[in-house]
Amino acid sequence: MPAFYLIVITLGAFYLGYRFYSKYLAERVYALDPNFKTPSHEFSDGVDFVPTNKHILLGHHFTAVAGAAPIVGPAIAVYWGWLPAIAWVILGTIFGAGVHDFGAIVTSARNRGQNIGTLSGKVISARASTLFLLIIFFLLTLVNAVFGVVMAILFQAHPGSVIPAVIVIPIAMCIGQWVYRMKGAVLIPSIIGLVLLYAAIPVGQAYPIHIDGLANLLGLSVRTTWIILIFAYTWFASRLPVWLLLQPRDYINGQQLLVALVVIFAGVIVGWDQIVAPAVNHVAADTKQWFPYLFITIACGAISGFHSLVASGTTSKQIDKETDARYIGYCGSLGEGSLALAAILACTAGLGSAADWSSAYSSFGAASGGALGHFVDGVGHFLSNLGIDAQLGASFAVVVVVTFAGTTMDTGVRLQRYILEEIAELAGFRSLVGKTTVLTTLAVVIPLALALVPGGDSAGGKGFAFGQLWTLFGTTNQLTAGLALSVISVWVMSRNRNPLAAIVPLTFLLFMTSWALVLNLISFLQEGSWMLLIMDAAIAVLTAWLIVEAVTALNRQRGERRAEVADES
């Protein structure tokens, strides 16, 4: 089947979702008010609470939530065939992610920009807040650990990507100074910044950065050295004001996404590439099945709990008008779904023949370990259809993944610092409250320690991050999405609005991910993976408890609504 057909079907569905369903959500479910005073104006401080143009904020929000996950997840999930993967991307994006991301921004903005974990205490119960904060802590630890390893793997395999990935930082900071200090327009400077970034790609190819000498000096492997350097960078980056680095780099990355999607889709059309993967791959009975694992493998790109942390942790503090939430939240979800589509195309139509695909996806371990490489090679092939050297095209793909992952880590460490401060306050360690340096250090060291855990030969030799952490990350991520939707559902119901749009994806996610949690517990026990077994069990207990709290809150809210109706009659 021509890959072009998937582009038409998917993008057509996304257009209809934004045109009709997001409008329904804005008017009938969230009841957006253009006159509502948002937290960015009420608490404006020039650091975290900053009124921001909706186009700039869309760039920040999208690139903060995107990272490498909407690439890696779909690139793994096509192991079960392209049909279940693309179906989940389309349905999950329109009816799950759109509701979730949009709702998290609105709910947080209506509650002084509080994060979704704190909101659960106000909307559901005080116990729920503590439980949710602990689950978020686990999720952020896994996100930062996995993405740190992703960047290290790519820098080691593609040293030519280091220079363009690094040069975007001073470019973004110059743009931030221009926009915030000089009050200049952002569009032209950001386009110039994007051109400079792309100009740096052939420079990086000519002068690849190898750190073998430093690694030998330290007595560490190259990958371990890169992981440490990456986390050291995030310590400094997460301390900077959002306007100085995070926002302008996100805007550049938002434009980079558009360019990447255009050239990838154009390459597919010009080459008229065929999908060589099976629609449904009938895998062995003793391996992971797509029910329920597909729905945790593709998280970002369909629906992801991490988005609620960004939406309520940073985006809600920068939104200028409440009505901007539809554009930022729902379009950000569609952007992620489009990136997931590109990943599916790269790994089903960009790898050559059906025999080549079968070799690359011979097992779930091969699919997991080779996900990044399959995407990079596929994009390189699509760009070669446009007359661009395949190696240069592959470097372009690496830069896209690395810059997105770096932005997500900046945001993730910043959010981890917020969560640690709230946990410290709840636990009575008030001496840590306000200690930004100490909290940032903890937010870096904890996922760094997890990222450095050796992984042996699992997942095609890619180690612990893909062999073990990705499954647990996906499960925790989707559970967080379900729990965020429970907060949104109760809040919507409290405003006498119909919460069904949030309750349906909430029920589906909690069922699938709870099922996966149980299967993971059995798997970790059989493998003797005790650390993961303990983490999985802890998350399962916290989740079960929080589900009970959420159901209780929904029933309480339903009872209050019935009482109000009875009083009115």
Residue-wise pLDDT for 255-306, tens only, equals 888 899 999 999 999 999 999 999 999 898 778 899 999 999 999 899 999 8
The answer to the question of residue 443 being in a domain is: no
Number of domains in the chain: 1
Sign of CA dihedral 335, 337, 340, 345: negative
417 located within any domain: no
What's the CA gap between 206 and 203, in Å, rounded? 5
pLDDT tops 60 at residue 459: no
| Cα-trace Rg, the chain | 22
Residue 126 has pLDDT above 70, yes or no: yes
Q: What are 3-28's pLDDT values in tens digits? A: 999 999 999 999 999 999 999 999 99
Residue 228 belongs to some domain of the structure: no
- pLDDT for the residue 303: 95
Distance from C-alpha of 482 to C-alpha of 515, rounded to nearest angstrom: 13
Spell 524-536 as b/e; 16+ CB within 10 A means b. beeeebeebbebb
pLDDT tops 90 at residue 565: no
Contact between 390 and 380 under an 8 Å Cβ cutoff? The reply is yes
Task: Please give the single-letter amino acid code of residue 443.
Answer: A
Identity of the highest mean pLDDT range in 95-104, 188-197, 298-307, 550-559? 95-104
Examine residue 420 and state whether it is found in any structural domain, yes or no: no
Arithmetic mean of pLDDT over the chain:
88
Q: What percentage of the chain has pLDDT greater than the value 70? A: 96
E strand or H helix that includes residue 169: helix 162-180
557 is in which domain, residue-wise?
Answer: 4-125+160-205+241-406+454-568
Picking from 165, 31, 38, 188, the residue whose alpha carbon sits closest to that of residue 103 is 31
In a domain, 530, yes or no: yes
Which pLDDT belongs to residue 457?
43
- Within a domain: 381: yes
Out of 153-157, 458-462, 493-497, 565-569, least confident range? 458-462
Instruction: With beta carbons less than 8 A apart as the criterion, state whether 203 and 163 touch.
Output: yes
Tell me whether residue 102 is exposed, middle or buried, using C-beta atoms within 10 angstroms of its C-beta: 0 to 12, 13 to 18, 19 or more: buried
Residue with more model confidence, 215 or 479 = 215
pLDDT above 90 (res 533): no
pTM of the model as a whole: 0.90
pLDDT band at 460 (very low <50, low <70, confident <90, very high): very low
Give a three-class secondary structure readout of 68-126. Answer: CHHHHHHHHHHHHCHHHHHHHHHHHHHHHHHHHHHHHHHHHHCCCCCCHHHHHHHHCCH
296 within domain boundaries: yes
How large is the average pLDDT for residues 174-194?
Answer: 86
Residue-wise over 42-59: b if at least 16 C-beta within 10 A, else e? eeeeeebbbebbbebbbb
Helices 500-527/98-109 angle, 10° precision = 110
What is the signed CA dihedral for 154, 155, 156, 158, rounded to 10 degrees? 80
Contact yes or no for 116/312 (Cβ under 8 A): yes
C-alpha–C-alpha distance, residues 420 and 418, integer Å: 6
For residue 563 the two structure tokens come to 């009482």
Max mean pLDDT range (90-94, 311-315, 408-412): 90-94
Residue 445 within any structural domain of the chain: no
pLDDT value of position 567? 63
Q: Which pLDDT value is given to residue 455?
A: 58
pLDDT of residue 472: 79
Does residue 31 surpass a pLDDT of 70?
Answer: yes
Q: Which of 132-141, 270-279, 507-516 has the highest mean pLDDT?
A: 270-279
Q: Whole-angstrom Cα distance, residue 409 to residue 401?
A: 12
